[in-house]
Amino acid sequence: MCRERRNNKLILRQAQDDNFLCDMSKQVQQIIVQDLGHRSYQEVWNLQKKMQTKRIKGDIEDTLLIVEHEPVYTLGKNADENHLLQSRDESVGVFQIERGGDITFHGPGQLVGYPILDLSNYKKSISWYMRTLEQLTIDVLDEFGITANRIEGLTGVWVGDEKIAAQGVRISRWVTMHGFALNVNPDLSFYDGIIPCGIFDHGVTSMEQLLGETQNSDNVKNMVIEKFNKYFIKGEC
């Protein structure tokens, strides 16, 4: 895999073998990865909407945003507000947003990925896109010795009957926004304030909880980027 950094943006390219040298002039397609660090939900939500509009117009290339948020609950467009419990921490912000799905939590220790992709470059299929996001997350977890799976009829990634990664997207003219959230080292007590994803009979877990120690978030982040590169880079140098 070849990488080039421009203005703090990491451009990833898929190589056919380990000895491959990228020829910039022959690149068919490239995905830009922006590591936003720790940002507020509102700021990144606004950024996503602007970038989706620009991608629809063809003003920017396919981009993956990587971020950790301050604690926040988000409700999808079809969410049941009763899944936001009265016992929750009232200091945690609540956002009603345009993605699919019910209610979830974002916060420090959770790695969130927001792909801004034109699916015309890959496959015009929402189900294909969702299953691909799930598979790359399963692959990431496998690299850390965690065997994860899907549960038929449910979205996201699970270890046993506990969810470790949530997904919710919005797609306009086949351009995506919102995305996936992987629990690396979050404070799981925040989930006590909601019915996560509106599912009553399943719990939540994290890499830290399963492996018994705090995980290096940079290592997980790099593996997410590597697997994303595997599934979403098209063309060759």
Cβ neighbors of 51 (< 8 A, separation 6 or more) are 60, 63, 65, 116, 177
Q: How far apart are CA 88 and CA 192, in angstroms?
A: 7
Known catalytic residues? 197
Long-range contacts of 151-156 (CB under 8 A, 24+ apart): 151/202, 154/197, 154/199, 154/202, 155/101, 155/130, 155/197, 156/197
DSSP class of residue 226 equals H
Helix, strand or coil, per DSSP, at residue 197: helix
- Which amino acid, residue 80? D
Rounded Cα–Cα distance for residues 87 and 75 (Å): 17
Question: How far, in Å, CA of 203 to CA of 14, rounded?
Answer: 37
